[in-house]
Amino acid sequence: MKIKIYYHHTDCGGVVYYAKYLEFLEDARTEFFEDKGISYEGMVRQGTQFVVVRQEIDYKAPAFYGDTLSIDTRLTEVGPVKLDFSYEIKNQNNQAISTARTIMVCVNGNLKPQAIPEEIRNKLGK
């Protein structure tokens, strides 16, 4: 996924505000699911959601207003209930800006852990 950095992503120094990366990662996961044919809205209607239980971010270099960042999203583990994502964020010069990891747990409509439905597992395996 690519994202252009706009003024609202930055602090007063023109550097991307650290918390904005959480939004970038959320967008990247949404794109990842959609690329696999999984609609988050459709999952919720069927009583399935994935919630973040752990988030790690390592900042390597700053990103600035006007940069274009690429986010490489990988699903590194599919457990019975959890998904483990890793990311590498680079700028337009291919410089590493950040690496990150997100662990998500599958929950039902009452936000209780549940096994990842087989249909979703199959799509994630493609």
Q: In what order do the strands lie in the sheet with 2-4?
A: 2-4, 68-78, 82-90, 96-107, 49-59
- List all residues 6 or more positions away from 39 whose beta carbon is below 8 Å from its beta carbon: 33
> Which two tokens mark 99?
């690496």
* SS3 category, 47: coil
Catalytic annotation, pick one of 11, 27, 58, 72 = 11
Say how many Å lie between the first and final Cα of the chain, rounded. Answer: 18
Residue 35 falls in the annotated catalytic set: no
Distance CA 115, CA 40 (A): 16
Of 92, 94, 99, nearest to 68 by C-alpha is: 92
Catalytically active residues are: 11
